[in-house]
Amino acid sequence: MSAHESEWTLRRLHAGELASPEATRASAHAASCATCGAVLRGLESNQQGFEAAIPFERFEQEVHRALERRRAALKPSPRRWVATTVALAASVLLVVLARPLLNQGPGWDRSKGGADVAELRIGGGPGPQREVKPDSIEALEPGERVMLGYKAGTHRYVAAVSVDAIGEVTALHPESGVSTPVAPGADLHWLQGSWEFTGSGAERVVLVLGDEPFTVESLVEATKRAFAAANGEVERMSPLDVPGAQTHWMLFKP
């Protein structure tokens, strides 16, 4: 394992998406590590350059124009006006909020030994908010974010990871340590936060529900083994060699 923070963690730190203890730890590391400090300064420099090149007033105008184009493209019928307006409002909220509120609809359970119900939703970008089926490949638009939900059933612990086309594995929830206890109740529960996947190409997301606690490191290592067994073809990976129920989704980044 690398002694440096992942670029994913540093990007979330820069965006203010890390929880306070994790943000404090990552900030302290970046302050004392030349490599991670340089990455973080580069992110800050890129943001400053973007803001200098595109003033806020112009950015706001472009957002307004994009929303107007989307309204024109939808061309809702009178009977669909209410549903379309709600969906558009939800999409705007996803742009503004780091932790959006999503409608809790039914999920799919298509994995081998899969979770009782697991759900992945996409929102926050130019496209509509939508749910992704485990047996399909869903294209992401720039800026779109992902949320994960589950119904635990009899399972007691939950964790999630992702792996991209070059085999880089990212612990999504939690970022380290041990799987977290499931939320009480039979309703669909959403994992804290949302994720924007950087880079391009395929990205596999895996949510695992277990009866006993398991370490994030063991889940990451199992994901790496499955990627290697698929000869580096993330689209062809088999279920992970971990106890419990798991659900997989495939995304394609622009």
Residues 17-34 pLDDT 10s: 778 788 888 888 889 998
Residue 105 maps to a domain: no
d(CA 242, CA 114): 12
- Residue 31 sits in the same domain as residue 64: no
- Please indicate, yes or no, whether residues 183 and 217 belong to a single structural domain of this protein: yes
CA nearest neighbour of 140 among 202, 95, 71:
202
User: What is the DSSP secondary-structure string of 134-154?
Assistant: TTSEEEPPTT-EEEEEEE-TT
159 plus 33 within the same structural domain: no
Same domain for 43 and 68, yes or no, is no
Q: Average pLDDT of 99-124?
A: 53
Ranking 124-133, 144-153, 194-203 by mean pLDDT, the lowest is 124-133
Residue 49 has pLDDT above 80, yes or no: no
> Is 73 in the same domain as 160?
no
Q: What percentage of the chain reaches a pLDDT higher than 90?
A: 47
Residues 48 and 170 in one domain: no
Q: With beta carbons less than 8 A apart as the criterion, state whether 101 and 93 touch.
A: yes
Q: What range does the domain containing 188 cover?
A: 117-253
Q: Are residues 148 and 46 in the same domain?
A: no
Residues 122 and 246 reside in one and the same domain: yes
Residue 60 confidence (pLDDT): 55
> pLDDT digits over 176-207, tens only?
999 999 999 989 999 998 999 999 999 999 99
Distance CA 112, CA 114 (A): 5
**Do 212 and 246 belong together in one domain?**
yes
Residue 211, in any domain of the structure = yes
User: What angle is formed at CA 125 by the lines to CA 76 and CA 136, rounded to 5 degrees?
Assistant: 85
Does residue 46 register a pLDDT over 70?
no
Is 220 a member of any domain? yes
Please name the amino acid found at residue 92. Answer: V
Same domain, 92 and 129: no
Question: Are the CB atoms for 143 and 125 separated by under 8 Å?
Answer: yes
138 and 238 within one domain: yes
Handedness of CA 37, 43, 49, 55 (dihedral sign): negative
Domain count within the chain: 3
Q: Locate tokens 């869903």: which residue?
A: 138
- Confidence at 138, pLDDT banded by 50, 70, 90: very high
